[in-house]
Amino acid sequence: MFRFEADSGLINAVLRKIPNQDFLYQEGVIVGRVALPISSFTVVVVPGFDGTHVVLSIPFSEVKGDKTGKFFLSKILNVFWGTIAKQVEAAVIPRLRREGLPANTVTLERSKDRSGDVGKIKISLAAVNSWLAGRHPRLTPSVTDVCFTRGSCLIVGELASHNVPD
Amino acid sequence: MRGSSKVELDKETVNILLKEFASKPDSEVTFENGRLFAHLSGLKVEITNLPLNSTKLNLEGSFGKVDVELSDFLMEANGVKMNFEVEVD
């Protein structure tokens, strides 16, 4: 068993590497400021783990535009989520393929909760583990649990060794 | 930007890594009860304390430059615990 825990400082250092966006991990959620040509908007991303996927939930009600206002952006997201999801997938899938990850590593979907519509970016642990298994000829790490707390992210996994015949 | 991380490896994981990266056909390094044992061609070496604190690593890859400082390294009966200070360029 291995456990890797990164504090919010380290998570934010990694988030800073994402171009054209300003994301900050604080109090267990990611608050992001995304710049678009017409306006910029803030978005709250709630990370979690459902047992098979790391799920990044984006409540539409928490998306706020600098000029467009909260209500208007929520409506736009509601109407155009399908189109946005397809565009995000079109941008992400080639990058996943370049890194050797299967196309189904990241999927986007929409669901409803008490606050209304929620966009979800789901990262498949099975796909990530399958990719990890191909990184070394004899060692197979696999992630079994991911936990987000107010100040850190904890990743738990197993390391297996298998002999390859000469 | 700076941050910190903790890594914990149980004894099975430590031994898998030692077998893969520290052992050779004529020498074996193992971890048992919080101690490291090196078996070198008939000579048995027992390491009870490994003061790796303040070890600094500079990593460079497609992700950019990352400076890592090992701020704490503990060998315990059930495994190894490490604390790192990390600076991402």
Q: What pLDDT, in 10s, does the model give residues B29-83?
A: 999 999 999 998 889 999 998 888 889 999 998 778 999 999 999 999 999 999 9
**Residue A131 neighbours by CB under 8 Å, 6+ apart:** A99, A100, A101, A102, A105
**Cβ-nearest to B88 among A1, A13, A158:** A13
Provide the 10 A C-beta neighbour count for residue B33. 11
Encode pLDDT of A64-99 as tens digits.
Answer: 877 666 666 777 777 777 877 787 788 788 888 888
Encode pLDDT of A134-161 as tens digits.
Answer: 889 999 999 999 999 999 999 999 999 9
| Helix (H/G/I), strand (E/B), else coil: A115 | coil
Q: How confident is the model at residue A8 (pLDDT cuts 50, 70, 90)?
A: very high
Identify the closest residue of chain B to A138 by CA–CA distance: B20
Contact A37, A43 (CB under 8 A): no
Identify the closest residue of chain A to B18 by CA–CA distance: A161
pLDDT at A71: 63
Token pair 């991303």: residue:
A45
Residue A25 pairs with which residues in a beta bridge?
A: A30
Is any Cβ of chain B less than 8 angstroms from the Cβ of A35?
Answer: no
More confident residue, A80 or B12: B12
Give pTM, 2 decimals.
0.87
CA distances from A66 to A35, A70, A72, A78, A80 (A): 10, 9, 11, 18, 19
Pick from B57, B55, B73: nearest CA to B65: B57
Is any Cβ of chain B less than 8 angstroms from the Cβ of A40?
Answer: no
Is any Cβ of chain B less than 8 angstroms from the Cβ of A145?
Answer: no
Maximal C-alpha separation, chain B: 48
Pick from A65, A145, A147, A79: nearest CA to A110: A79
Q: Which residues of A touch B19 (CB under 8 A)?
A: 161
The answer to whether A138 contacts B20, with C-beta atoms less than 8 Å apart, is yes
What is the rounded CA–CA span in Å between residue B71 and residue A93? 38
Q: Which ipTM did the prediction report?
A: 0.89
Q: Quote the percentage of chain A above a pLDDT of 70.
A: 90
pLDDT at A28: 93
Is any Cβ of chain B less than 8 angstroms from the Cβ of A12?
Answer: yes
Q: Measured between CA atoms, how close is A58 to chain B, in angstroms?
A: 25
**Residue A71 neighbours by CB under 8 Å, 6+ apart:** none
What average pLDDT score do residues B13-21 get?
95
Whether the predicted pLDDT of A35 surpasses 80: no
**Residue A3 neighbours by CB under 8 Å, 6+ apart:** A154, A155, A156, B6, B7, B8
